[in-house]
Structure 1
Amino acid sequence: MTHHLYILTGASRGMGLGLARQLLATGNTLLCISRNASPELANRAQKSGQDLVQWAHDLADAEGVSVRLRDWLQSQDPARFASATLINNAGVIPPVVPLRQSQPADLAQALRVGLEAPMALSAVFLGTTQAWTLPRKVLNISSGLGRHPMASQAGYCAAKAGMDHFTRCLALDEALHANGAKVCSLAPGVIDTDMQVQLRGAASEAFPDQSKFEQLKANGQLSSPEQAAEQVLRYLARADFGQVPVADVRG
């Protein structure tokens, strides 16, 4: 059997949309969870007859989306699938300002979407599928900013650093079980997305590294969302996926 189940957050734009396109093209069951459903994905699935489910759900409501995922997984027949994979891709970058100028609501949104939701969804995914005998994976999309501090990026850096560390803990948990899931927090490189636009457009007086991001764009050093998605899926398919719980596509 080559039919796989993928659950993907943040699938409506950027690299998430690239991941969804490529996963649909290979004939999988794909559940996408994003703030908004993608008409493009719906059209692709309809034309090709692929198995696509889209939920328009704010991932800041981690409890609500987790309950919904638990109920959905309980309704699935695992015998249909060769494997099951959760990809926590969604993230939010708060306004690019020093922490002293940040608004609590912006910080809360970034941490809920970027850290609380991945933890909650991972817990439900692994708990609900614990008795499934097929291979399971959790891929958390991290960032170099989770490993290297940057001024005016405290909220985003904290969310990604937390993602890396909870993945390390999760890997230890799953290693104790004979059919434990393989897990990895993966940095996908520097990608030409809306986040990059936000960083390039930030005020230089509030964001000391603003010029570095302008140079990345000017020098053609950004991967396209499709290129990054291809690299991520290639890493996900590696035989040694999960042996290193925190990794980077660039090696």
Structure 2
Amino acid sequence: MDYAIVTGASQGLGKEIAKLLLSYGVHVIGISRSKIIDLHSVADKYKVTFQSVTYDLVDVANLETLLDTITTKHMENDVTKLYLVNNAAVIEPINQGAHISPTSLNYHFQINAVAPMALTNLFLQFANQKDIPLTCLTVTSGAAEKPTFGWTAYCSSKASVNMYTKTIAKEQDELNTKHTIVAFSPGVMDTEMQAQIRSSEKSAFQAVDTFKAYYETKRLQQAGKIASIATEIMLDNNIENGRIYYARDYLS
């Protein structure tokens, strides 16, 4: 049985990826801060299971307990393949670095960087113990490679994710494991995060007018379309370990 753990599965890209994985016959466990109730019917349609686990990923101290809950209460014993989608992220704080409090910065990095790294580490341990191949896809951003006024936290956290992906993948190669770790940059999508960006003050985020124009001129991609690209990458037997994939390379 194939299982996927998807963080941030209650909306946007995470929800669309969860739907697609279900359609491919993968049992999905969705992690979010609120209970997800509308994916069970999708699972029933494809004769698989969807299970919702309520958890706030800022609580990184208890991620080992989360892993135990998932693997003992929400998985069967005959797991043959495991997928992890680190999708949950926040864009805030959007502001000049000098105006960002240590508390806000810590919150941001716990969710955007520490949680996906820690979850990947933990599921690698589990996969090694059970001799199960793991494919992990972490959602990153073009901001990881482009310094942007007002996004000191976001650019930095996503850059951390990229380097982590390359490094942990290198370890898998040198250890000759069955695991594949990649990152995926989705580009600009019509999601709640984009709405947050458009509501920024120009003094905090100088490019706000550009992002408003993306929305007004309908240049934002639909989450479902981007999710199909991410899912195809994950399920591809030729997936390249350590690669940063870009949705733009798959869009016509």
TM-score by length of 1: 0.91
- The corresponding residue for 2:120 is 122
Residue matched to 1:174: 172
Instruction: Report the CA distance shift for 1:12/1:226 in structure 2 as closer, same or farther (over 3 A).
Output: same
> Which of the numbers 142, 147, 153 marks the counterpart of 2:151?
153
Letter in 2 for 1:79: D
Q: Who is 2:103 aligned against?
A: 105
The aligned counterpart of 1:57 is: 55
1:79 matches 2:63:
no
Query: In the alignment, which of 202, 223, 227 is matched to residue 225 of structure 1?
Result: 223
With 132-141 and 208-217 compared, the bigger mean Cα shift is at: 132-141
Q: Supply the RMSD in Å over aligned alpha carbons.
A: 1.9
Matched position secondary structure for 1:176:
helix
Structure 2 CA distance for aligned equivalents of residues 219 and 210 of structure 1: 14
User: What is the DSSP-based 3-state SS (H/G/I as helix, E as strand, rest coil) of the residue aligned with 2:177?
Assistant: coil
Q: Which moved more, 1:237-246 or 1:28-37?
A: 237-246
CA contact (8 A) 2:10 2:36 kept: yes
Q: Is the 8 A contact 2:17 2:227 kept in 1?
A: yes
Give distance in 2, aligned partners of 1:53 and 1:77.
12
Q: Distance in 2 between matches of 1:78 and 1:161?
A: 36
Q: CA deviation at 1:218?
A: 1.9
The 8 Å contact of residues 113 and 161 in structure 2, kept in 1 or not, is answered as yes
Q: CA deviation at 1:85?
A: 0.9
Q: Distance in 1 between matches of 2:165 and 2:93?
A: 26
Provide the secondary structure at the position in 2 that maps to 1:79. coil
Greater alpha carbon shift after TM alignment, 172-181 vs 192-201: 172-181
Q: Is the 8 A contact 1:11 1:33 kept in 2?
A: yes
Q: TM-score, normalised by structure 2?
A: 0.91
Deviations 1:106-154 (A, max 9, x none): 2211100111101110111000110434432111110001111101011
Q: Residues of 1 paired with 2:70 and 2:183: CA distance?
A: 25
What corresponds to 2:133 in structure 1? 135
Write out per-residue CA displacement over residues 200-247 of structure 1, whole angstroms, 9 at most, x where no aligned residue.
111123211111101111222111111111111112222331344222
The alpha-carbon deviation at position 155 of structure 1 amounts to 1.0
Q: For the residues of structure 2 that align with 1:65 and 1:114, how far apart are their CA atoms?
A: 14
- Offset at 1:80? 3.7
Aligned to 1:44: 42
Letter in 2 for 1:176: E
Correspondences of 1:27-42 after superposition (within 5 Å): 27-42=25-40
- Map of 1:183 onto structure 2: 181
Alignment partner, residue 211 of structure 1: 209
State the alpha-carbon separation in 1 of the partners of residues 105 and 128 from structure 2. Answer: 33
What is the alpha-carbon distance in structure 2 between the residues aligned to residue 44 and residue 137 of structure 1? Answer: 23
Q: Which amino acid aligns with 2:35?
A: A
Provide, for residues 76-121 of structure 1, a one-character-per-residue CA deviation record: whole Å limited to 9, x for no partner. Answer: 555343x211110000111321111123222211100111101110
Contact 1:32–1:53 (Cα < 8 Å) also in 2: yes
Contact 2:143 2:154 in 1 (8 A): yes
Please, which runs of 5 or more residues in structure 2 have no aligned partner?
none
The answer (yes or no) to whether the contact 2:79–2:132 under 8 Å persists in 1 is no
Amino acid of the structure 2 residue aligned with 1:169: T
Letter of the aligned partner of 1:5 in structure 2?
A: Y
**Partners of 1:232 and 1:50 in 2: CA distance:** 20
Q: Which segments of 5 or more consecutive residues in structure 1 lack a partner in the other structure?
A: none
Q: Contact conserved, 1:27 with 1:50, CA < 8 A, in 2? A: yes
